[in-house]
Chains A and B, each alone.
Chain A
Amino acid sequence: MLTDVGLLALVLAFVLGVYATLASYYGGRTNQDTWVESARNAAILTFPLLTISVFAVVYALYALDFSLAYVADVSSRAMSPFLRVTALWGGQQGSVLFWAWLMSGFVMVVLLRKWERDRELMPYVIAVAMLTTAFFIGVVVFITNPFTRMWHFPGAAELTMAIFQPAGAMPYIPEDGSGLNPLLRHFGMIGHPPTTYLGFTGFVIPYAFAIAALITGKSSGDEWIRATRRWTLVAWIFLSIGLVLGGRWAYDVLGWGGFWGWDPVENAMLMPWLTGTAFLHSVMMTEKRGMLKKWNMVLIILTYSLALFGTFITRTGVISSVHAFSKTALGPAFFGFIGLTFLGSLSLLFARWDTLKSDHQLESFLSREAAFLLQNMLFLAITFAVFWGTVFPLISELVTGTKITVGPPYFKRVTGPLFAALVLLMGIAPLFAWRKQAVRKLGKAIWVPFAASLVLSGVWGYAHRMHPAVYPALWLVTFVVLAILMEFWKGVRARIRGRGESPWVAFQKLIGRNRRRYGGYIIHLGVVMIALGFIGDAYLKSETQGTLQLGESLQIGEYSLRFDSLDYYPGSDGREVLEATTSLFKNGELVTQLNPRRDYFVVQQQPVTIPGVYSTAAGDVYALLVGWEEIGFQSSTFKIYINPLIGWTWLGGLVMILGTLIAAWSPSRDREGATYTLKPRQASLSYLAGD
């Protein structure tokens, strides 16, 4: 019965979604608040209804209700309860429902807040946000419905899929389900899809506000930006976490020692992140100086469109990749919606183009404004390069008939320098003042971190005997870190001098009063850490492979791995485990025991390699079991990677979260007594004569 209720709630949510879209639009056009209020209530109610549906599906997965085709597909008796719940997003039907649920959640929270100030925008915000939500709910109801059951017509060779019982058919309930793809049965499954989806769906909010601003003609103001600033930050951090977790998961489970493969689906996530990050920075320009308005509009429309595009190519398999969702009839529906979004947004943008004139002009190339502009251009260039590489196989196949796959070398070569330029900009831009940076002052500010970083990176590289090609990358990282730390230092010093505070108090107050700025700097530090991990991955990896008899060791660098034993036993989840016990030595000293293993899932005939990893700040030792003797277990083949600095990638992700929390927690600027009010002396203008 719960599943039936879930289905009914789902359908009701769809009806409400459509109603909210139409009513809010009508209320906005005829300037009638009652219709808008009604639409708002309908939109808010969508979330609790979808929660009922989601709960129904999750319970069915947990309780192993195999009458539902979806449950039989992704759940099984062998799976732990924890995994059964995560199976909600393990297949197409559940994951689209999950997506719709998250989106309606975002919309609900936005609408529950006071929206008096954005009264004129609200009708269209609701209309756009609910149009999207209703679309996704509609896809769940009509195309990939998790409440579909399996039926058997007597004498038929195949099963029929339908929600309601067809006349003359009998219900078919299998004994057990197939279960999740073993690659998905990993801790990363709890983290990566939810955060990624939260990131994607969260961007519908700023997008809806932007479109509402365009429709109402209020696009020349920054009202829409102000209202959505925090939402953009929230969506962005979730997308960032999703990317890092995806990389971590790939690292743990795919067994090739890396975490980013430039796979089309990975790129699909990266592109909205790139434009989203540019957007996040670019809106600051509009808030402060009324500039870059056109850029902002273009960037948010791009971010949202790329998110839709990303989910389209992931779910339909139009561009082939390692991430394989099963292909369903989603394609045409998504295609229609994407077409509508792209063309609709573009025509609105062009219709209101002249409202987006900048209020001020660029005064100097040596200014923070110029830095923001450059940042936008760099991000856009990288996005375009990634986009080109991702769709090129499709284009080449259409035009020439042969599918030319674009591999990592292209991406690394093209985007590498651009990313390096961005990291450099990240370090230098805080040193610039608004409007006009005095050259001499800049020189004075830069030379200390510049010189110090040259020395430090030189020593660091030399001490580890690194290849000369790595030195520039090391210098870049050191320079940026020092530049950011200097900003902290200068700020603290100014407070100590100006207000006589003690260093610790000055530090706290500095961050507390300028949370956006310093939160942002902390995020930048996190980004540099991630960059460090990438440098290690690109330049400093080493690997080796060898077959060992019991007791023999394999040497790599300072480490050696000794093969102790090989065990075979049945594991949880219907898998058979082949586990090697090895001892890791560094310079002759025993460090730890590693257990690389190979799990084989019998039902799906799917093997999964799980590495044994030893992590330190300096890097990871990553051991894989790649071959063994079938009988006797006397010898085995191991592959060992040394991945220096990779831990910094994960740490950088955590630091980014910390920075975002600080930046997002800033007080609302509208409250009285917010920290930016000037001292009375400066605000009372009539007394400033002769200043």
Chain B
Amino acid sequence: MNLGAIFVGLALVILVLPVVFDPFRRPSPARRSAARTPAADSHERALLALRDLEFDYQTDKITEADYRAIRAELLAQAARAIEARKKEEEILEEIIRKRRQRKKEAAICPQCEAALQESDRFCPSCGHARINPCPACGHENRTEDRFCSHCGQQLEQDGNNGEKHAH
């Protein structure tokens, strides 16, 4: 194994690692799943079956009576599928709405009701602390936690909850 090969090998590693770890550096936002739902599947299946039915009828494989009967059934299935998809839309909308609501609620200071960012550790308006660092290990707990969630150390309650900060 000569030096040149080792050099090239290292170069490969240096090329590869950033690509592999890139996703950790820029987290992607929550996305609505584009996955197909059973209702969408059912809808499409109904349409395909209708197409096949037409074909079978035109190539003279089924009787008129069967054709009509099955066609009615498939159209009903398609109708049900469309209804179900509407309902799914509604449910998804509801979920998204609730989530936005929760996010909104989380971003108001309980003390002075100023608007906060998710990432704020202290309220910029009144200084109310949203975090409670553990005296033993330093882990940032929430103000209402009584024990450190990282090391179990009992936490001091500053008694500041709900009161204006005395400065």
Contact = CB atoms under 8 A, between A and B. Distances in A.
25 contacts: A1-B2, A1-B4, A4-B6, A8-B6, A12-B16, A37-B23, A38-B24, A49-B12, A49-B16, A117-B35, A120-B33, A120-B35, A223-B41, A437-B61, A437-B62, A438-B66, A441-B63, A445-B61, A487-B59, A491-B59, A676-B51, A677-B47, A678-B51, A682-B50, A682-B75
A41 B19 contact: yes
A295 B128 CA distance: 62
Contact of A16 (B5, B16, B44, B47): B16
Interface string B28-66: 100001111010010011011111110110111111001
Interface string B1-18: 110111011001100100
Contacts of A222: 41
Contact of B12 (A8, A119, A438, A685): A8
A8 B47 contact: no
A118 interface: yes
Contact of A119 (B23, B34, B60, B66): B34
B12 A9 contact: yes
B27 interface: yes
Contacts of A682: 50, 75
B78 interface: yes
A324 interface: no
Ordered nearest first, which 9 A-B pairs have the shortest CB separation? Answer: A4-B5, A37-B23, A8-B9, A433-B61, A494-B58, A433-B56, A490-B59, A34-B23, A116-B34
Given A34-B28, A287-B48, A678-B50, 7 more contacts: A12-B9, A221-B38, A433-B61, A434-B52, A441-B60, A490-B60, A676-B47
A33 B22 CA distance: 12
Contact of B45 (A118, A288, A444, A490): A288
Contacts of B91: none
Given A38-B21, A45-B20, A117-B36, A431 B2 contact: no
Given A437-B61, A441-B60, A41 B20 contact: yes
A220 interface: yes
B63 A438 contact: yes
Contacts of B19: 41, 45
Contacts of A289: 45, 49
Interface of A: 1, 4-5, 8-9, 12, 16, 19, 33-35, 37-38, 41-42, 45, 49, 52, 116-120, 164, 220-223, 226, 287-290, 431-438, 440-442, 444-445, 487, 490-491, 494, 498, 514, 669, 676-678, 682, 685, 688, 691
B116 to A, nearest CB: 25
**Which of B16, B72, B78 has the most chain A CB atoms inside 10 A of its CB?**
B16
B52 A288 contact: yes
Nearest to B37: A221
Contact of A8 (B8, B51, B79): B8
A366 B8 CA distance: 66
Contact of B47 (A35, A120, A678): A678
B96 interface: no
Interface string B143-163: 000000000000000000000
B70 interface: yes
> Dominant SS at the A interface?
helix
A116 B9 CA distance: 34
A489 to B, nearest CB: 10
A34 B70 contact: no
A514 B70 CA distance: 21
A523 to B, nearest CB: 19
A451 to B, nearest CB: 18
A444 to B, nearest CB: 7
Interface residues of B, number: 48
Interface of B: 1-2, 4-6, 8-9, 12-13, 16, 19-24, 27-28, 33-36, 38, 41, 44-45, 47-53, 55-56, 58-63, 66, 70, 72, 75, 78-79, 82
B12 A433 contact: no
Contact of B44 (A514, A669, A688): A669
A496 B53 CA distance: 18
A37 to B, nearest CB: 4
Given A12-B12, A41-B19, A433-B56, A438 B62 contact: yes
A431 B61 contact: yes
Nearest to A432: B61
B5 A441 contact: no
B60 A42 contact: no
A491 B54 CA distance: 11
A213 to B, nearest CB: 12
B49 A288 contact: yes
A433 B27 contact: no
A112 to B, nearest CB: 13
A73 B144 CA distance: 72
Contacts of B70: 435-436
Given A289-B45, A669-B44, A444 B23 contact: no
Nearest to B67: A433
Contacts of A34: 23-24, 27-28
B5 A8 contact: yes
B118 to A, nearest CB: 18
B22 A41 contact: yes
A149 to B, nearest CB: 11
Contacts of A677: 47
A152 B2 CA distance: 20
A221 B41 contact: yes
A436 B66 contact: yes
Nearest to A688: B75
Nearest to A33: B28
A19 B13 CA distance: 14
Contacts of A444: 60
Nearest to A37: B23
Nearest to B18: A41
Nearest to B61: A433
B50 A494 contact: no
Given A38-B20, A490-B59, A677-B47, A1 B5 contact: yes
